[in-house]
Amino acid sequence: MRADDLRSLPIFAGLDDDQLGSLLAAGAEVEIQPGEELFREGEHADHWWVLVDGVLELVRHIGREDVVVGRMDEPGRWAGGFRAWDEHGVYLATARGVERGRLLRVPADRLRELTHAWLPMAGHLVAGLYGTARSIESTARQRGALVTLGTLAAGLAHEINNPAAAAARAADDLTSVSGRLLTSLGSMAGLGMTPEQFSSLDRLRQEVDAPTTLQDPLEAADREEELADWLLEHGVEQPWDVAADLAAAGVGRDWCDRAAAELGPDVLGPSLRWVASTIRATTLLSEVRESTRRVSELVAAIKSYSQMDRGSLQSVDVRQGIESTLVILAPKLRGGVVVERDLADIPSIAAYEGELNQVWTNLIDNAVDAMDGAGTLRVSTRQDGDAVVIEVADTGEGMPPEVVERAFEAFYTTKPVGKGTGLGLDIARRIVVDRHGGTIEVDSEPGRTVLRVRLPVRRS
């Protein structure tokens, strides 16, 4: 390749013979062969390519197919070389030969040197442009991620606050109930209750069922009123407090009649108050146990979801990760969303669980948004040969073909600002495909959209 081959190209207008000679000395001539790939999408843009003659097509992988996004068919058109000004620069498409021809290929570092030598200001402007664009994009994506994190954190705080508040209320009530228990025991002893009477009372207490929630509020009210009348007739002080606890445990007039016959009128009041207090204490302890269990489950789900204690390749139970994700997203799954699980037994796989949980979060969040908060979300797992298949399906309106084609394109979204997880299907694809050697695809039609992830059980 000679200087005359470059002199007629518009991009080199204004360069003298010495500059063209320096450019040729820094670069090399590359022949174009039909069907041959010269550089690939996503690889570091270590070279600058200038078309001298021939035709190239630029191809991007979008969804499940390769799409031609441009052509280099005019001499002087160029591509790549971005690492001359941006160390993270990559090729935006794959170049494939269409018609025989020639390219000038110049290493990015030599391009930077020549640009700075001939026009330093231009080099600084281009470097600043790349740096500013990358900084703005990075800041915007981080901001979106922080907004999403804040939304998830607020939902989790609400989820944890409910059982925590219930446990705190139950613990406060236990303090007063314990006082009632001790007061009742003191009254029973002061009134001369015999050991035989206390044994009879304890036997009667053991016959009482554990507190239950009655299905019919009217039935509960009627039972309370009936017991309160009985207690009032037998001279028991503050009968409504005692009647409420006894009714909650299913105590009826027959049990009360037996208690009155075995204990006598002198100690009947404090004895029934003692039984009611033990019932109330048992109920509160059950509430504390259930509330703290719920908090523990939420903490375990958060730990499993974030995988904050494991960042390396692990043997992963995919179903556990999906369940943890559903717990984390519980605030979004209320209202009109029905969740169907079909989590069949599948083998554990070698994976980065924290990264996969981010994929499940994005797919489930997208599905709920697609249904506008009302519909059926179906999550299923199955084994297919030496791989496991995870499907997230929704009953939303579906994706138009043009959206399906671009679904896995970087920075592509159909959501308004502030919506979504900030992850994007492109990053989900990279986690599944690049990090785990799997595949991810979309099947969509009106009323049914399925995101299907296939992951190998064993890594090659």
Between CA 388 and CA 398, with CA 393 as vertex, the angle to 5 degrees is 135
* Reported pTM: 0.44
In DSSP terms, which residues pair with 384 in a beta bridge? 387
Q: What is the pLDDT of residue 369?
A: 87
With a cut of 80, say whether residue 86 has pLDDT above it.
no
Spatial separation of the C-alpha atoms in residues 159 and 153, rounded to whole Å: 10
> Does the pLDDT value for residue 238 go beyond 90?
no
User: What span, in angstroms and rounded, lies between the C-alpha atoms of 267 and 230?
Assistant: 16
How far is CA 305 from its chain centroid?
8
Which CATH architecture best describes the domain 311-456? 2-Layer Sandwich (3.30)
Q: CB burial class (10 A; 0-12, 13-18, 19+) of residue 90?
A: middle
Higher pLDDT, 104 or 247: 104
pLDDT at 439: 93
pLDDT tier for residue 14 given thresholds of 50, 70 and 90: confident
Least confident of 7-11, 29-33, 171-175, 298-302: 298-302
pLDDT of 441 reads 92
Instruction: Examine the pLDDT at 414 and tell me if it is beyond 60.
Output: no
pLDDT of residue 422: 40
Lowest mean per-residue pLDDT among 72-81, 314-323, 401-410: 401-410
pLDDT of residue 45: 86
* % residues pLDDT > 70 (the chain): 82
Q: What average pLDDT does range 36-47 have in this prediction? A: 89
Q: Compute CA distances 420 → 49, 334, 362, 424, 432, whole Å.
A: 38, 17, 8, 8, 19
pLDDT attached to residue 36: 93
Q: What distance in Å separates the CA atoms of residue 460 and residue 458, rounded to the nearest whole number? A: 6
Q: What is the mean pLDDT of residues 393-413?
A: 79
In this predicted structure, the answer to whether residue 55 has a pLDDT above a threshold of 90 is yes
pLDDT of 1 reads 78
How far is Cα 389 from Cα 313, in angstroms, rounded to an integer? 19
Mean pLDDT in residue range 387-400: 92
User: Is the CB of residue 55 less than 8 Å from the CB of residue 101?
Assistant: yes
For tokens 């296939």, what's the residue? 454
For residue 283, give the amino acid letter. T
Reported confidence tier of residue 380, pLDDT bands at 50, 70, 90: very high
User: What secondary structure letter does DSSP report for 412?
Assistant: -
pLDDT average, residue stretch 367-385: 91
Nearest-10 crossing angle of helices 253-263, 195-207: 170
Task: Give the E-state strand segments of 63-137 in sequence order.
Answer: 65-72, 78-80, 94-107
Of the ranges 36-40, 149-153, 246-250, the best mean pLDDT one:
36-40
Q: Enumerate residues 6+ apart whose C-beta is below 8 A from 239.
A: 227, 228, 231, 232
Q: Which two tokens mark 347? A: 């083998």
Mean pLDDT in residue range 417-439: 71
Q: What pLDDT sits at residue 452?
A: 94
Q: How many CB atoms lie within 10 A of CB 100?
A: 12
In this structure, of 61-65, 145-149, 280-284, 387-391, the range with the lowest mean pLDDT score is 145-149
How high is the pLDDT of residue 403?
A: 81
Residue 321 to residue 305: CA distance in whole angstroms: 6
CA angle in degrees (0–180, nearest 5) for 329-420-371: 75
Q: What is the DSSP string of 253-284?
A: HHHHHHHHHHH-STTHHHHHHHHHHHHHHHHH
Tell me the pLDDT band of 416, cut-offs 50, 70 and 90.
very low
Using the predicted structure, report yes or no on whether residue 291 has a pLDDT greater than 70.
yes
- As a whole number of angstroms, the distance between CA 223 and CA 221 comes to 5
Average pLDDT of the chain is: 82
CA 94/CA 92 separation, integer angstroms: 7
d(CA 160, CA 154): 10
Residue-level pLDDT at 81: 84
pLDDT band at residue 302 under the 50/70/90 scheme: low
- Alpha-carbon span 61 to 429, nearest angstrom: 12
Which tokens belong to 228? 């309160």
Q: CA-to-CA distance for 350 and 458, rounded, in angstroms?
A: 6
How far, in Å, CA of 335 to CA of 329, rounded?
A: 13
How far apart, in whole angstroms, are the C-alpha atoms of residue 275 and residue 287? 19
Beta bridge partners of 388: 383, 455
Q: Which range, 64-73, 125-134, 144-153, 266-275, is most confident?
A: 266-275
pLDDT tens-digit readout, 132-174? 655 655 555 556 555 555 666 666 666 677 778 888 888 888 8
Residue 67 confidence (pLDDT): 80
The DSSP H or E segment spanning 179 is helix 120-190
Lowest-confidence region among 96-110, 197-211, 212-226: 212-226
CATH 2.60.120.10 residue ranges for the chain? 3-118
Q: Where in the chain is the domain with CATH 3.30.565.10?
A: 311-456
Three-class SS state of 11: helix
**What crossing angle do the helices spanning 268-306 and 120-190 adopt, rounded to 10°?**
160
What mean pLDDT is predicted for residues 216-223?
75
Q: What is the pLDDT of residue 128?
A: 65
CATH superfamily of 3-118: Jelly Rolls (2.60.120.10)
Q: How confident is the model at residue 418 (pLDDT cuts 50, 70, 90)?
A: very low
pLDDT over 90 (residue 100)? yes
337 neighbors 377 (Cβ within 8 angstroms) = yes
pLDDT of the residue at 407: 79
Give the separation between CA 176 and CA 21, rounded to whole angstroms.
Answer: 95
- Number of Cβ atoms within 10 Å of the Cβ of 188: 21
Average pLDDT over residues 308-314: 58
- pLDDT greater at residue 143 or residue 23: 23
The single residue listed with the structure tokens 């606890």 is: 245
Comparing CA positions, the residue from 25, 53, 63, 130 lying closest to residue 443 is 63
pLDDT-derived band at 440 (thresholds 50, 70, 90) equals very high
Q: Residue type for 86, please?
A: D
